[in-house]
Structure formats: structure tokens, C-alpha cells
Structure 1
Amino acid sequence: MRLFSFKSLIYFTFLLSLCVIALGAYTRLTEAGLGCPDWPGCYGFILVPQSTEQQLAAQQIFPSSPLEVEKAWNEMVHRYFAGSLGILILLINVLAWRRKYAPKLLPAFLLVTVIFQALLGMWTVTMALMPIVVMGHLLGGFITASLLLLLVLRVRQQERKSTAIFSSMLHSPRSSSSYLKVLALGALFVVVGQIALGGWTASNYAAVACTQLPVCEGDWQGNFDPTAFEPIQPVHDSYQYGVLNYHQRVSIHVAHRIGAMVTTAILILLISFLLRTAGLRKYGLTLTAALIVQVSLGITNIVASLPLLVAVGHNVMGVVLLLSIVATNYRIYCGQQILQGSHLFAREGRNHG
């Protein structure tokens, strides 16, 4: 008797990817990204050094990086979960190639993504939290979760293949115009761009550069500095706590703030169409709930000066919002294809009849 079916494995791996994202945010926000100065171990050990002898040995190997046990454990727990995620994605690939009708290309792309994500994790440590690497690592985690969601949806679609032709007549979106398709796809790119801006804000320690609403205090327009967005920054021994000046951090924060306004406006427009389209209303309601929670968390971060749990929640809701958009796009595009296939099937049935 199998412990896990192929579908259950994919579902579990998807949920694990969300845990990894949450742990990654917690690790970053507790300043534990360099809790272990080496990779993949910690001060030369598989586990965080515990005994007095191990801690003395760790201090001799890394004299410039004093061991902080709590931060080291935060970092290593994240690595253990991330490593487990990589192993499960490898297992999904093995099983997919052994199953005749299982998707092959998507699991392979997932495996390539998670391998590159592991490299970004290593470079995050070896390059001492270089912002472009940290932002890329965050995006990699979000992309991994999105690909796993697509795999979940693909497997569900294959599982229902025998009944999809008939049920699609009742449940496929009606009048999903080309405009709606373009709007949904555009919203996806806008959300990804906003997530990247959020990653750039966090990696440059600009999250609390502005403390007033709706945009920022002071003459932020006159002091706006485009150099804050140069991907490659001057070389430093460490980028922890940020290396940019105040005006550069304000520029990044303002860009993220304005990006949030634009993203919200586009999502509200998309939601208004989804709520009026049969078969897509539940996606509109899901997006509405995710957007309200995410905006509320973002405002709370500013007003309350970045509380830890709120900041972690803001990261988690960011991926929830992205996944909602991914699922919406999948439903619009693939649901329309199923509906077209059902029409063709029905027409052929009438011809044969």
C-alpha cells in the first residue's frame, strides 16, 4: 500500500513550499540570514554547534562571525525545510517519468528552478546578503510555489478529464473576452513586479525609510535617487543592515508604495470583471479577500514600524495574492480551452448521430 499517491505528494510539496517561504521571511526579518557564515552547514557542522567544544571550534574557524545560537537555528531550520523541498521535487520528477500520463515538462522546469534557488541560497550567504541575490532568492521561492500550484491544477485537470467535457458546459467561464485575458495576464506581471520591488525594499533595509502615509514625509520628489535601483552595488564585506544612504532608501520605499497603489488599482479592475463573469466569481472573491488583507498588513507595517509577525504575514500574503492570480489565469485560459473542446466533442457526436 502506497504511503502517498502522486497527487498527495504534489499537494504536500506545494504546502511545504509555502512553509519555506514563511520561514525564509522569518529568517530574513530576524537578521538570521548570516546566522551561519558558511553553506550548507553551520560553522563547519551539520547542526548548529551545541557543546562547548563545538562552539570553540566554530569560533576558531570563523573568528569574525560570533555564534548567535538562536539566529543560527533560524537559518538552519530554513535550510532543512528548503532541502526537503528540493528532495520532494526530485521525487516528483522520478515518479512523473515513471507514470505514462503524468506531466513531464513542468516537473522538470520545477527541478531546474529549485536547483537554481539552492544556488541563490548559497550565494546569499557567500555574498553576504547582496541585495540582488536576496531579491532573486525571494522571487525564486515565489516562482517555485507558483509552479507547484500549476502542477496541482494540471493533475486535478487530468484526474477530472473523463467528466470535464460535460461539466465544463456548466462551470467554464462565459464570455471570457480577450480583454479579460489580457487584463488577467497583465495583472500577473504587475503583481510579480510589485513582489520584486518588495524584495528590493527588504534586501536594502528600506522598509521603514518612510513612516507617514500615503507616500512619504519630506521632499521625497526632490530627493528621489534613481541610482537606488542599480542592480549591482559597490562591493562591501557585508550588505547586512543595508549600504545605501537615506535618500536612496526613501526612493526605494516610495517606488514600492506607488507600485502598491498601481497594483491595487489594476487588481480592483480585474476583480470587477471577474465578479461579473459566470464561472469566475469565486476567483474574484478570493482576490478581493487577499488584496484587503495584504493592503491592511502593508499599512500596519508602516504605522507600527514593521512588527515581526505582521512583516512575515505580509510576505506570506504576497505569495497568496500571486497564487490567486496564477490560478485565475489558469482558469481563464485552460477553462476556455476545455469549453472549446466540449463544443467540438458535442458537434462530432451530433455528426456521428
Structure 2
Amino acid sequence: MRKLIFCSLMLAILVIVLGAYTRLTDAGLGCPDWPGCYGELFVPSTADKVNAANSAFPHRPVEASKAWSEMIHRYFAGALGLMIFAIAAWAAIRRDARMPLGLPLFLCALVIFQAALGMWTVTLNLLPVVVMGHLLGGFGVLTCLFVLYLRLSPNMCRDKLKSAKRMLGFAFVGMIILGCQIALGGWTSANYAALACTNFPVCEGQWWTQIDVPSAYSVPHAENYEFGVHDYPARMTMHIIHRAGALVTFAYLLTLGIWLLRVQSKLMNTAGVALITVLSAQVGLGISNVVMSLPLTIAVAHNFVAAMLLLIMVWITFNLSMMQRRANG
């Protein structure tokens, strides 16, 4: 079971990276239907099939590179879903006390909802709320799998920490702040606002005179949301708020990391080093996205490191909760 969960965890990270690549290469509508591609299980490749696909979807002619990007993401996401159902079935049969059945069943429900969001992403033509929800759902699946893995792992946390309860509350708030920042990033990306500001550390011109929060977090009616439908002030506002969120997240998690370095626990000291290192890398990638005009490799890495940062925060929170139980026990 532990090996199966570990493989699922690695696959979930890969699916998140593939999803980011698909979104950043504008391949979210590479296949205009779901779950197949132009009515086929694989991307049409022969001349007859390409002609038939173009006739069936004249508004979206076949672009093989984008279609394959979308379908590869679907194949891996489908494989992940099957593995999660296998985990739930195994948990139901084995009934291990370390892994209550509730979490695997919740994961199954989340995977089904993720599949629905994947379908709506296509059928609703990249509706930003759906695209952001699909991203957050992927991070949710990753988090749940990691919690399952930690529950079945050999108990590495043997320290007793008097301040564990206070630190646990601080870490839990950090999880919430990080989740909100990931959501802000997802909304910015889903609305193609990543390059609404091309200067750093501030936006160009008199940006403060154009702040429009109500428009930035509204969903205008449109037939197709590809490449964004908001005006510049709204997209600029999304970008500015995402930067502000990054400052808050960095300050809060840096404080937590420094705190972890100063406690009498080798495990938490290691966690503090990991948190500060990955947090710094994420900030560097975010700045590079602006300064270098969103290069694909760095933009995909920004999503990957966000996932790593989330896993570190889950690891910290999980171990602090174990420490608190030992302190109380």
C-alpha cells in the first residue's frame, strides 16, 4: 500500500507539471471535445482523420502539438485516478488502523470531481473559475496522497517539543496563506494576466490609479475565455494582488522557517532549512517570470516548486501534530 501511494504521489506531481505545461502552451483547448480528441482515443494523425476532425470542428482545426499535450495530460490523469481507486479498494479490504477509510473515499470523490472539472474546462472554453478550480483540485489530490503516505510511513518523529501546539497553529495558518496564494496564482494564470505587469518590483506607469478589484475577480460573459477577456486594469489588478500575496506568504513562511531553525529538534531544524530554501527558490522563479517575460521552463518550474512548498508545509504540520500528541501523552 505504501509503495502504491508513493507511486501515486509521484504521478500526481507529474500530472500537475503536465497541466501547467498544457496551460502555459495555450493547449487547454488542443482537443475541443472530452474525453477523447476530435472523437478519437488518440490525436488524429492520418490525412483522412485530420480532414474529418477539421470538418467536425471547423472552429478548432487540428494542431498536433497542442492536441498531444492535452491528451498526454489526460492519459496520466486517468492513470492517477485508477491508482487512487485501487488505494481506496485496498484500504476497504485491509482496514488498516493507520489509514481510516474516510480519506481514501474522499480522494475518490475528489478525483471524480477533478474529472468533471477537466471536462468543463473544455466544454466551457477555459472558464477561469473552472480552470482555477481544476488547479486547486490537483493540489488537493496531491495533499491528500501525501497525508496518506505520511500516515503509513515509519514513525520518524520522536521529539517532544513543548512549543509544538503553538507552532502547529502557526503552521496551519501558513498552510491557509499558501493555499490562498496558490489560488491567486491560478486565477492570474487562468486569466492570462501573468505579464500584465512587465516591470519589477512595481508595475509600469501609474498602476495604482488603475486598480479595479471588482472587475479583476468577476467573470465576464464570453463565448470563449482563451487568452483572457478582462480589460488591462482588471488583469493588472490580478497581477498586483498576486505579488502582494507573494510578499505576505514569503514573510509569514520565512518567519516560520526561522522559528523551526531555533527549536530543539533536528527534524524541525531540517524542515526549517527545506522550507526557507524552497521558499527562496519560488520567489526567485516568480521574479524571473516577470523579468524574463514568462519563459516556459521557469513558468512550469514555478508551478512545480509551489507543489513542493505545499508538501513541505504538509510535512511540517503533520510532524508538529505528532509532537503535540506525544507532549500531551
1:176-228 Cα shifts (integer Å, max 9, x gaps):
24432221111110000000000000001000011111131222211100123
Structure 2 CA distance for partners of 1:312 and 1:173, relative to 1, 3 Å: farther
Note if 1:83 corresponds to 2:78. yes
Letter in 2 for 1:203: A
**2:164 and 2:321 in contact (8 A); partners too:** no
1:133-170 Cα shifts (integer Å, max 9, x gaps):
100000000111011000000111xxx4xxx5xx75xx
Note if 1:293 corresponds to 2:281. yes
Structure 2 CA distance for partners of 1:338 and 1:179, relative to 1, 3 Å: closer
Q: 2:116 aligns with which of 119, 140, 149?
A: 119
What pairs with 1:108-257 in structure 2 (closer than 5 Å)? 108-156=105-153, 160=154, 171-231=158-218, 233-257=219-243
1:345 paired residue number: none
**Matched-pair identity in %:** 46
Q: Distance in 2 between matches of 1:181 and 1:217?
A: 40
Q: Distance in 1 between matches of 2:247 and 2:110?
A: 30
Letter in 2 for 1:51: T
Letter in 1 for 2:231: N
2:89 paired residue number: 94
**1:173 and 1:332 in contact (8 A); partners too:** no
| Deviation (angstroms), 1:339 | 4.4
Letter in 2 for 1:226: V
Note if 1:60 corresponds to 2:55. yes
**2:197 and 2:236 in contact (8 A); partners too:** yes
**2:220 and 2:230 in contact (8 A); partners too:** no
Letter in 1 for 2:328: Q
Q: Distance in 1 between matches of 2:163 and 2:217?
A: 40
Q: Distance in 2 between matches of 1:301 and 1:124?
A: 25
**1:17 and 1:145 in contact (8 A); partners too:** yes
Q: Distance in 2 between matches of 1:16 and 1:286?
A: 22
Q: Distance in 2 between matches of 1:104 and 1:277?
A: 35
Q: Distance in 1 between matches of 2:284 and 2:16?
A: 20
Letter in 2 for 1:276: R
Letter in 2 for 1:218: G
Structure 1 unaligned spans of 5+? 1-5, 342-353
**2:165 and 2:324 in contact (8 A); partners too:** no
**1:174 and 1:278 in contact (8 A); partners too:** yes
**1:33 and 1:129 in contact (8 A); partners too:** yes
1:256-301 Cα shifts (integer Å, max 9, x gaps):
0010001000011111111112231111111011101101111110
Structure 2 CA distance for partners of 1:261 and 1:309, relative to 1, 3 Å: same
**1:175 and 1:277 in contact (8 A); partners too:** no
Q: Distance in 2 between matches of 1:179 and 1:214?
A: 34
Structure 2 unaligned spans of 5+? none
Q: Distance in 1 between matches of 2:145 and 2:164?
A: 27
The two structures, once aligned, show a CA RMSD in angstroms of 1.3
Note if 1:9 corresponds to 2:1. no
Larger Rg: 1
**2:164 and 2:323 in contact (8 A); partners too:** no
Q: Distance in 2 between matches of 1:7 and 1:265?
A: 35
**2:95 and 2:101 in contact (8 A); partners too:** no
Aligned residues: 325
**2:160 and 2:326 in contact (8 A); partners too:** no
Q: Distance in 1 between matches of 2:327 and 2:321?
A: 10
**1:204 and 1:243 in contact (8 A); partners too:** yes
TM score, norm. by length of structure 1: 0.89
Letter in 2 for 1:95: W
Q: 2:293 aligns with which of 299, 305, 312?
A: 305
Q: Distance in 2 between matches of 1:322 and 1:290?
A: 10
1:67-108 Cα shifts (integer Å, max 9, x gaps):
100000000000000000000000000111110314311111
**1:211 and 1:302 in contact (8 A); partners too:** yes
Structure 2 CA distance for partners of 1:35 and 1:95, relative to 1, 3 Å: same
| Deviation (angstroms), 1:173 | 4.4
| Deviation (angstroms), 1:60 | 1.4
1:322 paired residue number: 310
Q: Which sits farther off after the overlay, 126-135 or 100-109?
A: 100-109
TM score, norm. by length of structure 2: 0.96
1:350 paired residue number: none
Q: Distance in 1 between matches of 2:297 and 2:33?
A: 27
